[in-house]
Structure 1
Amino acid sequence: MTDAVAPRRRPARLTDAVLTGLRRTTTTALLVVLIPMVAALLLAAGVLCAPVSLATRGPWRPVRITGFALVYLLVDLAGLVAAAGLWARRLPDRRDRQERRAADAFAVLERLLRLLRRAGERVFRLRVEVTPPPPSGTGNAAAPVLVFARHAGVGDSFLLLQTLLSQVGLRPHTVLKRTLRTDPALDVLIGRVPHCFLPPFGGQAEDAIRGLAAGLGPGDALVIFPEGGNFTPRRRRRAIASLRRRGLPRRASRAEQMHHVLPPQDAGALAAIAAAPTADVVFVAHTGLDVVHSARTAWSRLPLRDSVRVYWWRIPPSRVPPGDDARSEWLLTQWARVDHWIADHATPDATHA
C-alpha cells in the first residue's frame, strides 16, 4: 500500500515546490522594484508637504505613510537576507535541522517585528498598554496555550506576535490567511516554523488547525483569530445575515447584541481545544487600532491619537467545558466579554467607526 501511494505524493510535492519557487521569485522581484519607487515617493512627499506642514504644523501624513512603507519594505528585504544566510549556514549540517531552522526563524521574526513596532512608535505614535502586564520570559517553562484574539485594525496580528515573542517568550504557531504569503520574508520565515495558512489547498481548515494544535509543546502558543477577518460594521452585518440564512436565529440574536466584534467562527477554535486538551486558553481583546481599517481611515486617523489598549485573561483547561456544544456556547460567552470590554474602553472614534 505504501509503494502505491508514494508515486502519487512525489509529483504533488514537486508541483508545490515549483509553485512556491515561482511565487517567492515573483514577490521578491516585486519587493526589489518597490523599494526605490517608494523611496522616490517619500522624497516627493517630503518636498510637496513641507511648505504646508511647516506653516500649519500639520501631521505630515503622506510622509509618515510612505516613510513607514519604505521601512516595512527594507525590513522585509533584511528578513530575506537573514533567511538566506541562515539557510547557507545550516546547509552542511542536517542534524536536528527542522528544530534548529524553526528556532532560527523565530529569532529572526522576533527581531523584524520588534523593528516594525519601533518604527510604528516613532512614525505613527503607537503606544500600547497591556492589562494585566504580560508575564516576561516564561515561555520556555510554560505549558502550551491557545490564544484566541480579536482581529481589528491594521497590524494587530503582527503586534500580537511581537508581544508573544519578545515579551512573553512564547513561540507562536499561527493560523494566517493565505494572502499573507505575498509578503516574501513572511512567506519564507513562517514556512520554517509550525503554521497553517487558510484556506488550505487540500482538506478542511479544521483538520489543519487540529494538526497544528496537536503538535504544541511547552513554550508554544497556537494563535487563532476566530472572527476570520478584520472587524468592520459592514462585515458584522453580513455575518449576522449569514447566521440567519443558515438557520441559526439564536446565534444571530446573540451576535446582534455584540456591537464591536464579529461572531466567532468556532469550528477552528473547537478543533484546537479538542487537539490540545491540556493547554490553557487565552482571550485577547484590544481597541485603538480598530479606527484604522481602510485606506480612507488610515489617512484620517494616523498618527494615532490614543493608546492601543489590550486586555487578556487566561482560563485553565479544567474550566473549559466538555463537548462541542457546550464549548461553542462558552466561546460565544467569552466573545461577549471581549465585546463588553471594548464597549467600556473604546475611544469615540472606534465606537463610531
Structure 2
Amino acid sequence: MSVTAVHRRRATRLSGVVVTVLRRTTTTALLLALVPTVAALLVAAGVLCAPVSLATRGPWRPVRITAFALVYLLVDLSGLVAAAGLWVRRLPDRRNRRERRTADAFALLERLLRLLRRAGERVFGLRVEVTPPLPGEKGHTAGPVLILARHAGVGDSFLLLQTLLSQAGLRPHTVLKRTLRADPALDVLIGRVPHCFLPPRRGQAAQEAIAELAAGLGPGDALVIFPEGGNFTPRRRRRVIASLRRRGLPRRASRAERMHHVLPPQDTGALATLAAAPTADVVFVAHTGLDVLHSTRTVWSRLPLRESVRARWWCIPAHRVPPDDAARSEWLLAQWTSVDHWIATHANPGATHA
C-alpha cells in the first residue's frame, strides 16, 4: 500500500471518529432534554384525559403513548450509562477485549429490549404467539443461520431481535437503516457487535457490506435481513408494483400483485447473503398483528392492541437452497408467496392490506 493511500485511510478513519463523536454528543444531549419534556407531557395527558376516559371508560391513548415514550427514553438513557460503565470496567483488561466487548453489548442489548417488551405488554397489551415453539433456550449454540423476515408494523425489528436474544439464544448480526443511529444507546451498542448500516460507508456497495457481514457468521450467530427493503404499507406496495412495471419486469409485477400482505423481496441483499454464507440454514419469519400499525392514524386508532401478534417461522437446510442466483431468486419469491399466504390466513380481523 502506498504512503498516499495510508494517509488517505488514516484521514478517513479520523473523520469517521469525529463524525461519530459529534453525532453521539448531539443525540445524547437531545435525549437528556427529551426526558423531562416527555415526563411533563405525560402529566398533562393524564390530567386532560382523566375526565373523559373515566366517564367513557376510554383507552387512555395519549397517556399510554406518552408513558411508553418516557419508558423508551429512560431505557435508552440507562443503556448509555451501562455501556459507559462496561467500557470503563474493561479498560484494564487487554485480553480478548473485542470478544468481551461484543459479549457485553449483546447481554446489555438483550436486557434493554426485554424491558421494552415488558413495557409494551403492560402499556399496549402486547402478546406474542410463536409457532412452532423456538427450538433453543438461552445459551443454545446452533449453527449459523440466515433469518429472512417480513418487515411490517411499528417495532417488529426490535421484537424479532429480542426474541432471538432472549428465547433462541442467538447473537443477531443485523442489517439496519442508518437513520437508527439517531438512537444514542442503539448507536453505541450496535457499534460494538457485528452489524451493517444501510446505506453503507462510501466506496462500498450495499451487497458487499451485507456479504461481508454474512461471511463472518459462526456457531450461535444469526444474520437478520428484511428482504422487502422497507416497512410494508399498502401505499408502498402499490409503488413497488408500479416500479417493477416501469423497469420492464411485468412477470415479477404480476406475481407481486397477487401478494396482498407483503412487498416483493429484493434480490440484491438476499442473494449476496446466501452466496456469502453457503453452509448456513435459512429461516423465514412471517408475522401479523403489528402490520395494522402503518401510519400515525392507524397507531392512534389501533392502540392498545386487541389481538395477539402471531409469528410463524420455518427453516430450510443449507443443502436444500438452490445453487445459483437465478434459481435462488425464484425460490425466494416462492418463499415470500408462502409468507403472504400464511398472513392471509392468520391476519387479525379488521386488518386492511388493500
> So what's the TM-score if we normalise by structure 1?
0.98
Write the mapping of 1:137-148 to structure 2, written as runs, cut at 5 A: 137=137, 140-148=140-148
| Aligned-partner SS, 2:5 | helix
Shift of 1:187: 0.2
The one-letter amino acid of 2:116's match is: L
**1:239-296 residue CA offsets vs partner (Å, 9 max, x unmatched):** 0111111111111111111000001111101111111011000000000001111211
Aligned to 1:347: 348
Deviates more, 1:119-128 or 1:244-253: 244-253
The one-letter amino acid of 1:16's match is: G
Does the CA contact (< 8 Å) of 1:153 and 1:289 recur in 2? Answer: yes
**1:76-95 residue CA offsets vs partner (Å, 9 max, x unmatched):** 00000010001101112222
Aligned to 2:36: 36
Shift of 1:4: 4.2
| Aligned-partner SS, 1:351 | coil
Aligned to 1:224: 225
| Aligned-partner SS, 1:349 | coil
Gaps of 5+ in 2: none
Aligned to 2:8: 8
Shift of 1:136: 2.8
| Amino-acid identity (%) | 81
The one-letter amino acid of 2:257's match is: E
Does the CA contact (< 8 Å) of 1:231 and 1:261 recur in 2? Answer: yes
The one-letter amino acid of 1:287's match is: T
Write the mapping of 1:286-305 to structure 2, written as runs, cut at 5 A: 286-305=287-306
Shift of 1:350: 2.0
The one-letter amino acid of 2:320's match is: R
Shift of 1:135: 1.7
Aligned to 1:65: 65
Does the CA contact (< 8 Å) of 2:225 and 2:270 recur in 1? Answer: yes
Aligned to 1:177: 177
Aligned to 2:236: 235
The one-letter amino acid of 2:134's match is: P
Shift of 1:139: 5.6
Aligned to 1:191: 191
Shift of 1:10: 0.2
Shift of 1:2: 5.0
* Distance in 2 between residues matched to 1:233 and 1:60, nearest whole Å: 28
Write the mapping of 1:1-353 to structure 2, written as runs, cut at 5 A: 1=1, 3-137=3-137, 140-202=140-202, 203-352=204-353
* Distance in 2 between residues matched to 1:118 and 1:14, nearest whole Å: 40
Query: Over aligned residues, Cα RMSD in angstroms?
Result: 1.0
| Aligned-partner SS, 1:348 | coil
Shift of 1:6: 1.4
The one-letter amino acid of 2:86's match is: L
* Distance in 1 between residues matched to 2:78 and 2:176, nearest whole Å: 22
* Distance in 2 between residues matched to 1:18 and 1:7, nearest whole Å: 16
* Distance in 1 between residues matched to 2:254 and 2:131, nearest whole Å: 30
**1:209-255 residue CA offsets vs partner (Å, 9 max, x unmatched):** 00000000000000000011110011001101111111111111111
| Aligned-partner SS, 2:350 | helix
* Distance in 2 between residues matched to 1:266 and 1:181, nearest whole Å: 25
* Distance in 2 between residues matched to 1:232 and 1:50, nearest whole Å: 34
Shift of 1:140: 4.3
* Distance in 2 between residues matched to 1:312 and 1:174, nearest whole Å: 18
* Distance in 1 between residues matched to 2:191 and 2:88, nearest whole Å: 16
* Distance in 2 between residues matched to 1:344 and 1:139, nearest whole Å: 34
Moved over 4 A (4+): none
Deviates more, 1:74-83 or 1:240-249: 240-249
* Distance in 2 between residues matched to 1:220 and 1:265, nearest whole Å: 23
* Distance in 1 between residues matched to 2:349 and 2:268, nearest whole Å: 33
Does the CA contact (< 8 Å) of 1:176 and 1:198 recur in 2? Answer: yes
The alpha-carbon distance between structure 1 residues 211 and 352, as it changes in their structure 2 partners (threshold 3 A), is closer
* Distance in 2 between residues matched to 1:2 and 1:158, nearest whole Å: 43
Does the CA contact (< 8 Å) of 1:142 and 1:218 recur in 2? Answer: yes
> So what's the TM-score if we normalise by structure 2?
0.98
* Distance in 2 between residues matched to 1:139 and 1:259, nearest whole Å: 38
Does the CA contact (< 8 Å) of 2:260 and 2:353 recur in 1? Answer: no
* Distance in 1 between residues matched to 2:295 and 2:191, nearest whole Å: 28
* Distance in 1 between residues matched to 2:98 and 2:6, nearest whole Å: 22
The alpha-carbon distance between structure 1 residues 139 and 209, as it changes in their structure 2 partners (threshold 3 A), is farther
